Structure 1
Amino acid sequence: MPDVIFPLDSTKPFTEQEILGHNRWHPDIPAAVSVKPGQSARIECREWFDGAIKNDDSADDIRDAPLNTVHRLSGPVRVEGAKPGDLLVVDILDVGPIPQEEGPLAGQGWGYTGIFARRNGGSFLVDQFPDAYKAIWDFAGGKATSRHVPGVEFTGLIHPGLMGTAPSRELLSTWNTREATLIATDPDRVPPLALPPEPDGAILGSLTGADFERVASEGARTAPPRENGGNQDIKNLSKGTRVFYPVFVDGANFSVGDLHFSQGDGEITFCGGIEMGGYLDLRFDIISGGMDTYGVAENAIFLPGNSDPQYSEWISFSGTSVTLDGEQRYLDSQLAYQRACLHAIDYLTRFGYSPEQAYLLLGAAPVEGRFSGVVDIPNSCATIYVPTAIFDVDVRPSASGPARIDAGVGAPHSAF
C-alpha cells in the first residue's frame, strides 16, 4: 500500500481533521501536501456531505442537504516541478470504500443515492420529480443491493466523481464572470442556473483571517465540471485509468473527492451515483509543456481503466428532442436523453417499481447513456442501456407479460 499522504479519521468531521482540505476552487488555497513526480500515494476522501446523509428510511436529510458546504475535497496536492502549461498525469491505481470499517458514514459498508428537490438543486428530471427521495445501498463482495429498490443487484464501478487542478487567477475570473452572466438572465430561477461564490460554508484549507475572507468571496463552487476537470462525474474514471490534466498554477494543486461506488451515465438524479467515502491510490507524473504539445489547453483527456462490470445483455430505450407536450426542439440532445430516461422509468413501473425507485436505479446502476444521433434535423436521438442481468426477474418483453417484483418499503420521500 502506498503511503497515506492525506489521512482522514472517520470519527471526526472533515473540519476537525489533522490535515484540512477545501470545498472551493481558488489558486490561493495553499497546498496541503506534496508529492514528487513518479510518486504513488494514498488519499482518503469523505463523501461529499461529510456524514449529513444517514442510513435510515427518511429523505429529510436529502431535502435539507447543505449544498453550500460541498464538495469536501482532499488536497490540494502539490506536485513538485509542475508548471503552468504542463500536463499532470494521474494514474488511478486503486479506489474503494473506507477499508474494513462498518459504521454511520457512507462508505462504511453502505452508500446512498438521492433525488434532489427542486428547491435544493433539482435533478435532471426535476419537472417530473420535484421532491426529495433517497435509496440506501449495502455493499457486499463488490456488489450493491438496496432495501429501497429491491429486486436488483449489480457490481460497482467505483470511481471519483471529482478530480481536478487549481485554476489560475485569470481562469477563475473567467468562470465567475461567465456564470454570473448566465445567472443574470434569470436570477430568480429555481433551481438556479449556476452557483455563484458563497462565503457561507467555505472550507479553505489552512487559510485564515483576511486571506480567508477574500478567497471565500472569490472561490468558485465545486458543483460543475470546468476546464480544470472538476466534478465531471465520469463513471469510467475507475481503477486503471490514466488522466491528463492541464496545469494552470505552479505545483498543479490537484484535489479529489466525491467517490461513487457505482453510477449510471449522466448521474441523472444529481446525487446520482452511490455516494460514499473511501480512498484512492494515485501515481503522479508530469509532461513538461504538454498542454501545447498535445493541444490540451482545457479539459482533461483520459485513458479509461479496464475494470468495468461485465454485462453482455441490455434492454435499451430511446428518446428524441420532442417535449412531453409535443413541442418540437431542434437537435436538443439533453431533451432526447431525458425522454429516453423517462421511457425507461415508465417501462420499469410495469414490473412493480414506483417511478421514483426506477429513477433512483437509473442513477445508481451501471447503465450506459449515449447520444446516438445528433445530425438528423430536427430530432436528435439519445439512448439509455440497462443491463438485464441486474434484475431478479426477466425484464425483457414477452407474450406472458411482465413479472412483478415486491416493491418493499419503497423509496423514502420528503417534500418541502
Structure 2
Amino acid sequence: MPENLFPLDSSKPFTEQEKLGHNRWHPEIPPVISVKPGDSFRVDCREWFDGAIKNDDSAEDILNAPLHEVHKLTGPIRVEGAKPGDLLVVDILDVGPIPMEEGPLAGQGWGYTGIFAKHNGGGFLTEQYPDAYKAVWDFTGQVATSRHIPGVAFEGIIHPGLMGTAPSAELLARWNKREGDLIATDPHRVPPLALPPEPNGAILGGVAEADFDRIASEGARTAPPRENGGNQDIKNLSKGSRVFYPVFVDGGNLSVGDLHFSQGDGEITFCGAIEMSGFIELRVDVIKNGMETYGVSENAIFMPGKVEPRFSEWLAFSGTSVTLEGEQKYLDSQLAYQRACLHAIDYLKKFGYSGEQAYLLLGAAPIEGRFSGVVDIPNSCATVYLPTAIFDFDVRPSASGPHQVKQGIPAPRASA
C-alpha cells in the first residue's frame, strides 16, 4: 500500500489534525506535501462538512449546514518540477470510505445525501423542493441502502467530487471579477448567483498569520468547478481514471476532497451525492508544456475508470425546454434536464415514494443524464436514464399497475 502522506484522525476535527489542509483557492497557500513525478501515495480526505451532518432521523443539520466552511481539502500537494504551462497527470489508483472503522463520522460505514433549503444553497430543483431533507445510507461492501428510501440498493461509483490545481494570481483575480460581476446583476437573489470570497470560516493551511486576513479576503470559494478542475462532481472520475490538469503555479499544488460513495449525473440536490470521508491513492506525473501542446488551457480532461457497475436495462425519461408554466424557451438544455428529472420524480411517486425521496434517489443513485438533442429549434431534449436493477421490484410500466413500496422511516424534513 502506498505511504499515507496526509493521515486524518477520525476523532478530531479537520482543524486539529497534525497536517492542515484548506477550504479556499489561492496561489499563496503553501503546499503541505511534496512528491515527485512517478510517485504513488495515499491521503485521507474529510467529508465536506467535517462531521456536521449526523447519522440520525433529523434534517436540522442539513438546514443549518455551514456552507461558508466547505470544502475540507487535503493539500496542497506540490509535484516537484511542475511549472506553469505543464499538464499534471493524476492517476486514481484506489478510493474508498474510511477503512475498518464504524462510527459517527460519515465514511465510517455510512454516508448521507441532502436536499438543501432554498435559502441555504438550494439545488437543481429548488423551486419545486425548497425545504431541507436528508437520507442516510449504509454501506455493505460497495452497496448502499437507506432506511429513508426503501426498496433500492445499488453499487456506488466511488469518486472524489473535487480535485484540482491552484490558480495563479491572475487567474484568481479573473475568477473573483467575473463572479462578482454576475452577483452584481442580482445581488439579493436567493440562492445567490455565485459565492464571493468569504473570510469567515476560511481554512488556509500553512499561511502565515501576517498574511492570513488578506488571503482569506481574496481566496475563491471551492463550490464551483473552474479552469483548474475543482468541484466538478463527475461520477465517473473513479478508480482507474487518469486526469490531466493544467498547471498555473510552480509545483501545481494539487488538492483533493469531497469524496462520494455514489452520485447521479448532475448531483441534482446540491448535496446530491452520498457524502463521506475516506481515502484516495494517487500517482502523479508531468507533461512538460502540455497545456500548449494539447490545447488544454482552461479545463481539465480525463480518461474515466472502468470499475462502475454495468447496467443493461434502463428506464429513461425525457424533458424539453418548456417551463412548468408552459413558456417556450429557446434550446435551453438546462431547463430540459430539469424537466426530465421532474418527470422521473413524478413517475416514482406513483410507486409510493414522496417527491423528496425520489429527488434524493436521483441525486445519489448512478443515474445517467444526457443532452440528447440540442439543435432542433426551439426545443432541446435532455434525458435521465434510471437503472431498473437498483429496485427490488419491477419499476417498469405494466398492465398490473405500479408496485407500492412499504415505507419505514420517511426521509426527515427540517422544521423550517
How many residue pairs match? The answer is 416
- Residue 242 of structure 2: aligned partner: 242
Pair 1:175-2:178 in alignment: no
| Structure 2 residue 278 is matched with structure 1 residue 300 | no
Q: How does 1:166-315 map to 2 (within 5 A)?
A: 166-315=166-315
Which SS does the other structure have where 1:342 is aligned?
helix
Separation in 2, partners of 1:291, 1:397: 50
Matching residue of 2:348 = 348
Aligned twin of 2:328: 328
TM-score, reference length from structure 1: 1.00
Report the counterpart of residue 66 of structure 2 in structure 1: 66
Q: In 2, distance between residues paired with 1:300 and 1:5?
A: 24
Which consecutive segments of 4 or more residues in structure 1 shift more than 4 A? none
- Answering whether residue 13 of structure 2 is matched by residue 13 of structure 1, we say yes
Residue 30 of structure 2 corresponds to residue 57 of structure 1:
no
**Corresponding residue for residue 93 of structure 1:** 93
Aligned AA (1:121): G
> What is the Cα deviation at residue 410 of structure 1?
1.0
Q: Deviations over 1:319-365 (max 9, x none)?
A: 00000000000000000000000000000010110000000000000
- In structure 2, C-alpha distance between the alignment counterparts of 1:239 and 1:382, rounded to whole Å: 28
Q: Which moved more, 1:400-409 or 1:255-264?
A: 400-409
Q: What displacement does 1:209 show?
A: 1.9
Indicate the residue corresponding to 2:107 in structure 1. Answer: 107
Using the TM superposition, give the Cα deviation of residue 288 of structure 1 relative to its aligned residue in structure 2, in angstroms.
Answer: 0.3
Q: Aligned letter for 1:229?
A: G
Q: What is the rounded CA distance, in whole Å, between the counterparts of 1:19 and 1:141 in structure 2?
A: 29
CA deviation digits over 1:180-212, x for unaligned, max 9? 000000000000000000000000001132211
Tell me the distance in 2 between the aligned counterparts of 1:371 and 1:389: 23
1:5 aligned counterpart, secondary structure? strand
Query: Partner of 2:305: helix, strand, or coil?
Result: coil
Q: Distance in 2 between matches of 1:209 and 1:155?
A: 45
Q: Secondary structure at the match of 1:414?
A: coil
- Mapped to 1, the partners of 2:33 and 2:142 lie a distance apart of 31
Query: Which residue of structure 2 lines up, in the alignment, with residue 123 of structure 1?
Result: 123
Q: What one-letter code is carried by the residue in structure 2 that aligns with 1:225?
A: P
Three-state SS of the structure 1 residue aligned to 2:151 is coil
SS in 2 for 1:92: strand
1:47 corresponds in structure 2 to 47
Which letter does structure 1 place at the counterpart of 2:330?
Answer: Y
The alpha-carbon deviation at position 415 of structure 1 amounts to: 4.2
Residue 34 of structure 1 aligns to a residue in which SS? Answer: strand
**What residue in structure 1 maps to residue 23 of structure 2?**
23
Distance 2:180 2:198 in 1: 13
Q: Is the 8 A contact 1:333 1:380 kept in 2?
A: yes
| In structure 2, C-alpha distance between the alignment counterparts of 1:31 and 1:145, rounded to whole Å | 38
Q: Is the 8 A contact 1:33 1:75 kept in 2?
A: yes
Amino acid of the residue matched to residue 310 of structure 1? R
Q: Give the distance between the partners of 2:193 and 2:303, measured in 1 at CA.
A: 32
Distance 1:323 1:280 in 2: 41
The CA distance in 1 between the partners of 2:129 and 2:343, in whole Å, is: 14
Q: TM-score, normalised by structure 2?
A: 1.00
Q: Which residue of 2 aligns with 1:388?
A: 388
Letter in 2 for 1:279: F
SS at match of 1:151: strand
| 2:312 partner amino acid | S
Q: How far off is 1:266 after superposition?
A: 0.1
Preserved contact between residue 354 and residue 407 of structure 1 (Cα < 8 Å): no
SS at match of 2:95: strand
| Amino acid in structure 1 at the alignment position of 2:136 | I
AA aligned to 2:366 is P
Alpha-carbon distance, 1:407 to partner: 2.2
Compute the RMSD of aligned alpha carbons: 0.5
- Residue 298 (structure 1) shift: 1.1
Aligned-partner Cα distance in 2 for 1:324–1:271: 24
Please say if residues 117 and 415 of structure 1, whose CA atoms lie closer than 8 Å, have aligned partners that are also in contact.
no
Tell me how far apart the structure 1 counterparts of residues 357 and 297 of structure 2 sit (CA, whole Å).
Answer: 41
- Unmatched 5+ stretches in structure 1: none
Matches of 2:42 and 2:270, distance apart in 1 = 28
3-state SS in 1 of match to 2:152: coil
Query: For 2:282 and 2:238, how far apart are their aligned partners in 1?
Result: 11
Provide the C-alpha distance between the structure 1 equivalents of 2:12 and 2:109, rounded to a whole number of angstroms: 18
